[in-house]
Amino acid sequence: MVKTVIDAAWQAKERAYAPYSHFMVGAAVLDADGRIFTGCNIENASYGLCNCAERTAIFKAVSEGCKELQLLVVCSDSERLTPPCGACRQVMAELAPMMKVILVNKTGQYLEMTVDELLPLAFSNDYLLKKRKEES
For the chain (136 residues), the mean pLDDT of every run of 10, in chain order, is 96 98 98 97 95 98 96 97 96 96 96 96 80 56
Whole-number Å distance between alpha carbons of 117 and 71: 14
Whole-number Å distance between alpha carbons of 6 and 83: 15
* pLDDT at residue number 126: 81
On whether the pTM is more than 0.85, the answer is yes
* pLDDT at residue number 124: 85
54 is an active site residue: yes
Please check whether residue 29 is in contact with residue 37, taking contact to mean a CB–CB distance below 8 angstroms.
yes
Among candidate residues 14, 43, 54, 64, the one labeled active-site is 54
* pLDDT at residue number 127: 82
* pLDDT at residue number 125: 83
Q: Among residues 15, 26, 30, 92, which one has the least CA distance to residue 66? A: 30
- Helix residue ranges, H only, 46-110: 53-63, 86-95
Residues in the chain: 136
Cβ atoms within 10 Å, residue 96: 23
- Domain ranges in the chain are 2-135
Sign for the CA dihedral angle at 117, 72, 81, 38 comes to negative
CA atoms within 13 Å, Cβ hemisphere of 101: 25
In the CATH hierarchy, which fold is given to the domain comprising 2-135?
A: Cytidine Deaminase; domain 2 (3.40.140)
